Amino acid sequence: MRQIFFKLWPLNRSVTGNGLRQSLIIIKRFIGKLNIVHTATGYKAFDWKVPQEWIIKDAYILTPELKKICNFKKNNLHVLNYSKPINKKLSLKKLKKNLYTIKNLPNAIPYVTSYYKKNWGFCISHNEFKKLKEGTYKAVINSKFIEGKTSYGIFFKKGSDKREIFFSTNICHPSLANNELSGPIVLSYICKWLKNKKTKYSYKILFTPETIGSIVFIKKNFNKLKKNVIVGYNISCIGDKGNFSFLPSRNETSLSNRIILNLFKKFQIQFKKYTWLDRGSDERQYCSPYIDLPIASIMRSKYDEYKEYHTSLDKFNKVVTIKSLKESVNIIKKLINNIEKTVIPKTNKECEPFMSKYNLYPPISDKNQKYKTREIMNIISYCDNNHSVDDIVSKTKIEKSKILKYLKILERKKIIHI
């Protein structure tokens, strides 16, 4: 974990560019299997366009004493991500308009971005900011924008069933341990573990730049996602020492929500539950009304709710620990093992099946037979890819053994799929 972390850590990632591509290549080498997909800048995905690729070679501020500060080569957080090029002298008053700092975290360099509007700026700790003296400063940002590409990586594990379990994580922020690298590291280990595991369900795991990456992925794969994904989770900020937390999909009754809540209960895992109104990561895209996928989010300390979030204080061994990463890997393994044991029936029929055709409807009026048929029809009514057998037991009050018996009959007659 340390090795992969420190290979990924120094790369200057963004929503496009070489740092993003190099990061995906490192993950591919570790997993041994990852399909890296590139999409050209200008590609229109619903209401969004892939921005131009950002290339930066150097950036710094020269003080009146000719001292270099906010040196990009020392810490890539010092530059507003996606800064336009600049090389000019200016007063401290004018410079301050383009400096970003956090008063209540005086030693932290903030992480700030401007992907879709051309700006320039530097990020500096508040303590350093206070030391700046009047005089003439020189701001230098050696960057450019080109027609290039954004990229994401897809790991796919084929199961005996075409239905998919979907995981997603972000790979676009530089030098942030928990907010960025914990999710990719945990899911890289899960990919490696899944490679040699015989599974019932198929698994799709996405490593993507936040927002634009997930939107492009949805645009390109919408029909397949709608058809195949039955359970899914966005994984973010999962490497710190905090308790686990969970943010449900927009449809709060989705199977994804019930499965993770049952897991926490089964293993007596302490967790904090948020609501859909607390969303802020790529669950926003997967669960938007038109897309409407059953994607919930699993975290430890939720993004934007721990003090080091989006700052240079989000470091390995300070916020993220090997112990916490291992715990998170084990929780995802348990989650997958639980999903594998979950029977999720799906009807093959558009409307109610014509029961007589399958010898499941009494030819004559018999009260006992009608009751049995009614039970079967009630079971079929919940065979929608969103109810497990345990859910159907809870809804119908029919014994589990009886439901399993009926499901086998229905599958044999090709009315449902389990």
pLDDT at 356: 86
**In the predicted model, is pLDDT for residue 369 greater than 80?**
no
- Indicate the helix (H) or strand (E) that contains 347: strand 346-347
pLDDT attached to residue 131: 96
**Model pLDDT for residues 75-133, shown as the tens digit of each residue:** 999 999 999 999 999 999 999 999 999 999 999 999 999 999 999 999 999 999 999 99
Long-range CB pairs of 101-108, under 8 A, 24+ apart, other chains included? 101/125, 101/126, 101/129, 102/126, 102/311, 105/307, 105/311, 105/313, 107/313, 108/308, 108/311, 108/312, 108/313
Taking the C-alpha atoms of residue 165 and residue 204, their distance in angstroms, rounded to an integer, is 6
The span from the CA of 354 to the CA of 14, in Å, is: 55
Residue 365: per-residue pLDDT:
54
Domain ranges of the chain: 2-51+156-341, 54-146, 346-417
Using CA atoms, how far apart are residues 233 and 246, in angstroms rounded to an integer?
10
Mean pLDDT of 237-245: 97
pLDDT one-digit tens code per residue, 260-278: 999 999 999 999 999 999 9
CATH T-level fold of 54-146: Glucose Oxidase; domain 1 (3.50.30)
What are 331-360's pLDDT values in tens digits?
999 999 999 999 999 999 999 999 888 888
Fold (CATH) for 2-51+156-341: Aminopeptidase (3.40.630)
Three-state SS at 244:
strand
pLDDT of residue 246: 96
Read off the pLDDT of residues 42-63 as tens digits, 9 standing for 90 and up: 999 999 999 999 999 999 999 9
